[in-house]
């Protein structure tokens, strides 16, 4: 895994930098959401899940992940000083691995927000279905590679599978 360094302060240029980082590694980007108030994300072709896991999660114990169920490779990119909502998912587990110099995360089994903790390049965060979590960046752009596991095969998770407990941007 190679460090992702995002040099541009401009969001559109940062999107291009991150896109090129993955395209040069042979990834097929199947969806990009640039309208997130905290930054943006990329989804990758599920056919490349093994490649993604081998590159970004080599040597990582995939706690709480049943690799027999569908997995979705994704990357989240946080703009400096911005953060995700305090949230949880009902139908998916997630594993994040920091791919920039650092990010910060909060996790909890309850609705009470924990103190943020810094995660550095290569560190991993496991989030089971229902676990509360939030992440962001305070030092330039931050990014995490993410493996999403659909925990209910009869009702796969999607971007609507989010319960926001607190949101800086007024989203429900």
Find out if CATH 1.10.3720.10 is the number for domain 11-153: no
Mean pLDDT of all residues belonging to the chain: 92
Domain boundaries of the chain, sorted by first residue: 11-153
- Residue 146 predicted with pLDDT over 80: yes
Is residue 150 very low, low, confident or very high in pLDDT (cuts 50, 70, 90)?
confident
Which residue bears the tokens 């939030």? 134
Is residue 69 very low, low, confident or very high in pLDDT (cuts 50, 70, 90)?
confident
CA distance 5 to 59: 22
Query: 120-138: per-residue pLDDT in tens?
Result: 999 999 998 899 999 999 8
CA distance 120 to 97: 9
**What tokens does 87 get?**
């949230």
Whole-structure pTM value: 0.93
């Amino acid at each position: 895994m190679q460090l992702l360094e995002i040099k541009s302060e401009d969001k559109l240029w940062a999107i291009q930098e991150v896109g090129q980082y993955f395209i040069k590694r042979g990834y097929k980007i199947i969806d990009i959401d640039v309208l997130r108030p905290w930054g943006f994300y990329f989804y990758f072709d599920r056919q490349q899940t093994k490649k993604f896991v081998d590159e970004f999660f080599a040597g990582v114990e995939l706690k709480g992940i049943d690799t027999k169920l569908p997995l979705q490779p994704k990357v989240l990119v946080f703009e400096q000083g911005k953060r995700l909502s305090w949230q949880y998912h009902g139908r998916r587990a997630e594993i994040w691995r920091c791919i920039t110099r650092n990010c910060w995360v909060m996790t909890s089994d309850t609705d009470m927000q924990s103190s943020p903790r810094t995660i550095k390049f290569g560190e991993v965060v496991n989030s089971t279905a229902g676990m509360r979590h939030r992440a962001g960046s305070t030092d330039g752009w931050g990014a995490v590679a993410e493996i999403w596991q659909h925990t209910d095969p009869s009702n796969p998770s999607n971007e609507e599978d989010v319960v926001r407990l607190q949101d800086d941007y007024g989203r429900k």
